[in-house]
Chain A
Amino acid sequence: MKNTFHIPGGTYDRLPQNMRRKRFAENTIINTFGAHGYEEIETPMFEYLEVFCDRAGGPLQETMFKFVDSDGRIVALRPDLTTPTARMASTKLADTPLRLSYVGHAFRNNEAVYGVQLKEFTQAGIELYGEASPAADAEVIAVTIEALLAVGLSDFQIEIGQVGYFKGLLSLAHIDGEAAETLRAAIDCKDFAGVERAIADIAMPDALRKAICALPSLFGNGTILDAVDAPDDATAAALDNLRDVLRRLEELGLAQYVSVDLGLLQSLDYYTGVIFKGFTKHMGFHFCGGGRYDNLCAAFGRDMPATGVAIGIDRLLSALENAEKEGTL
């Protein structure tokens, strides 16, 4: 007999002791955000499908839960909170710079993979609009670090990249379209041979080829940037921007929580500058991510730079639990 009292895969019931921990983490994080001037907002759990769809770098339609509203239009459960927040900020809030924070559920109709991909998950994040400076990117990362420390995670790293460096190399090598995507994917999964293969038939100066092939190995502490050459103004500007962000974090005494990965190249259509992800040795996958996305607000009618972060609360709680277990071994 089918058990009708089970819940769908990829969803969770939270019993009191788990819920206490979750609420503590959410509150601690949102309070840290608030202390830095990020005001909490809320958007609907579901919105018109077009808000999320048909945008470069946006989620695929087939990964969303959809239904038909009483007005006959298709609505979707939000697959993330950054997009609705950008819609709200672009259309309803005039003054910049604008600092907003949120905590809430998001939904993906992917096949659930235990721990890695849930169907319903909680995100807490901040978005900073109207500031294109590296100071804004450094601020978002610094506030993220402070929030993570506040919930009790101590041995984590935020690894930072800059998609502008790769985009600069692409344009110097005259690579675009599908060839660019193949190359991006190879670098993003550190497939050294794949990178060489992707550009084998493309004519370019040796130095440029070397620079592209080096990308998968350019990760570690900030000093790895010393050995990276910028072949033109655009790539130099990207590296300077990254160095500026790192220097600011260092000045705040946060150097120990920060590292570099120039091979971080997720969703090039979406990210426009600094990009970062957080990890800890207590878990095999990242628990937070963010970066600069200066083009998103234009999709909602307002040309406004933006940078932000989203912390996966469920993953963060698992990491904290693993850290506790490993600490008592």
Chain B
Amino acid sequence: MNYITIALAKGRLAETATELFEQIGLDVSQLREKNRKLIFTDEKNRVRFILVKAGDVPTYVEYGAAAVGIVGRDTLLEEGRGLYEMLDLDFGHCKMAVAGPPTARKLLEDVTTLRVASKYPAVAKDYFENVRGRQIELIKLSGSVELAPLVGLSDVIVDIVESGKTLRENGLEVLEDVCPLSARLVVNKISVKTEKERIMDMVDKLRTLVHSK
């Protein structure tokens, strides 16, 4: 029997995902060991787990290097690849939002060019151009995006908001909601056909588990 490889986005998503996989009967003991291994195996069920950066999960799954992946919807929106997005796993809830200082609120309605900083340039561009119908100047950053409006680099930011604590502590607030986010189960388009029974069994079990919560 071939291995089914599951790619998990490193961090909190992987921790919750590990619990879910344990509850549907997979052996996750190797995943729980604190070591530097890159591949964790459940020999009995012929499943392998790999831990990768969130942004790389869609890549592994699109090429079929991993058959299944767990990743936030934010990454899927930004990477926009040819994958089956089969389940909303109903954890890791947060939202994509436009945020900035309260004074930026009027800029959103203005016609002047809006400067938007984001780790999610594709999401920001799509929201402003297609939903809001206005052009923006995009500034791509890779972290601490909240800083940008504070030092005058941008007018607003587009970023993930969980509790909003970081925003508040820096005098920023949510100006507009873009969309809700949560963890998703993605599946390679070919693997689901070649390993239909095992993968759909996993999908069905996870769906039942998620719905029972």
> Interface on A for B, CB 8 Å cutoff?
115-116, 157, 159, 189-194, 216-217, 219-220, 259, 261, 279-281, 283-286
Bound Cα distance A189, B188 (Å): 10
Stretch binding the partner chain, chosen from B20-28, B143-151, B192-200: B192-200
Q: Which chain B residues border A157 with CB–CB below 8 Å?
A: 193
Chain B 10-51: CB-based contact to A (< 8 A → 1; otherwise 0): 000000000000000000000000000000000000000000
B191 touches A192 (CB 8 A): no
A286 touches B85 (CB 8 A): no
Cβ of B83 < 8 Å from any Cβ of A? yes
A192 touches B86 (CB 8 A): yes
B190 touches A286 (CB 8 A): yes
A191 touches B82 (CB 8 A): no
- CB under 8 Å from chain A, chain B span 172-208: 187-194, 196, 200, 207
Bound Cα distance A192, B194 (Å): 20
A285 touches B64 (CB 8 A): yes
Cβ of B159 < 8 Å from any Cβ of A? no
Nearest A residue to B66 by beta-carbon distance? Answer: A284
* 3 residue pairs, one from A and one from B, having the closest CB atoms: A284-B64, A190-B84, A193-B88
Nearest B residue to A284 by beta-carbon distance? Answer: B64
A115 touches B63 (CB 8 A): yes
Nearest A residue to B191 by beta-carbon distance? Answer: A284
Picked from B63, B65, B192, the residue with its CB within 8 Å of the CB of A190 is B192
> Interface on B for A, CB 8 Å cutoff?
62-65, 82-88, 187-194, 196, 200, 207
Q: Which chain B residues border A191 with CB–CB below 8 Å?
A: 84-86
A190 touches B190 (CB 8 A): no
Q: Which chain B residues border A159 with CB–CB below 8 Å?
A: 193
A194 touches B85 (CB 8 A): yes
B190 touches A281 (CB 8 A): yes
Q: Which chain B residues border A115 with CB–CB below 8 Å?
A: 63
In the complex, how many angstroms separate the beta carbon of A216 from the nearest chain B beta carbon? 8
B84 touches A284 (CB 8 A): no
Q: Which chain A residues border B207 with CB–CB below 8 Å?
A: 192
Bound Cα distance A239, B154 (Å): 55
B193 touches A219 (CB 8 A): yes
B192 touches A116 (CB 8 A): no
Q: Which chain A residues border B191 with CB–CB below 8 Å?
A: 284
List 30 A-B pairs, Cβ < 8 Å.
A115-B63, A116-B62, A116-B63, A189-B83, A189-B84, A189-B85, A190-B84, A191-B84, A191-B85, A217-B200, A219-B192, A219-B193, A220-B196, A261-B193, A279-B189, A279-B190, A279-B193, A279-B194, A280-B190, A281-B190, A284-B63, A284-B64, A284-B188, A284-B190, A285-B62, A285-B63, A285-B64, A285-B82, A285-B189, A285-B190
Question: Most chain-B Cβ atoms within 10 A of its Cβ — which of A191, A219, A286?
Answer: A191
B85 touches A281 (CB 8 A): no
Q: Which chain A residues border B88 with CB–CB below 8 Å?
A: 193
Bound Cα distance A285, B196 (Å): 16
Bound Cα distance A191, B186 (Å): 9
Nearest A residue to B60 by beta-carbon distance? Answer: A284
Nearest B residue to A155 by beta-carbon distance? Answer: B194
Q: Which chain A residues border B63 with CB–CB below 8 Å?
A: 115-116, 284-285
Q: Which chain A residues border B188 with CB–CB below 8 Å?
A: 284
In the complex, how many angstroms separate the beta carbon of B161 from the nearest chain A beta carbon? 21
In the complex, how many angstroms separate the beta carbon of B99 from the nearest chain A beta carbon? 26
Told that A284-B63, A285-B82 touch, could you supply 19 new A-B pairs with CB distance under 8 A? A159-B193, A189-B84, A189-B85, A190-B84, A190-B187, A191-B84, A191-B86, A193-B87, A216-B86, A217-B200, A279-B190, A279-B193, A280-B190, A281-B194, A283-B64, A284-B65, A284-B188, A285-B64, A286-B190
Question: Most chain-B Cβ atoms within 10 A of its Cβ — which of A219, A220, A285, A286?
Answer: A285
Given contacts A189-B84, A189-B85, A191-B86, contact A284 B196 (CB under 8 A): no
Bound Cα distance A217, B199 (Å): 12
Bound Cα distance A217, B82 (Å): 18
Q: Which chain B residues border A261 with CB–CB below 8 Å?
A: 193
Given contacts A281-B194, A285-B190, contact A190 B85 (CB under 8 A): yes
In the complex, how many angstroms separate the beta carbon of A219 from the nearest chain B beta carbon? 7
In the complex, how many angstroms separate the beta carbon of A225 from the nearest chain B beta carbon? 16
Nearest B residue to A159 by beta-carbon distance? Answer: B193
Picked from A190, A259, A280, the residue with its CB within 8 Å of the CB of B86 is A190
In the complex, how many angstroms separate the beta carbon of B130 from the nearest chain A beta carbon? 12
Q: Which chain B residues border A220 with CB–CB below 8 Å?
A: 196
Bound Cα distance A43, B19 (Å): 57
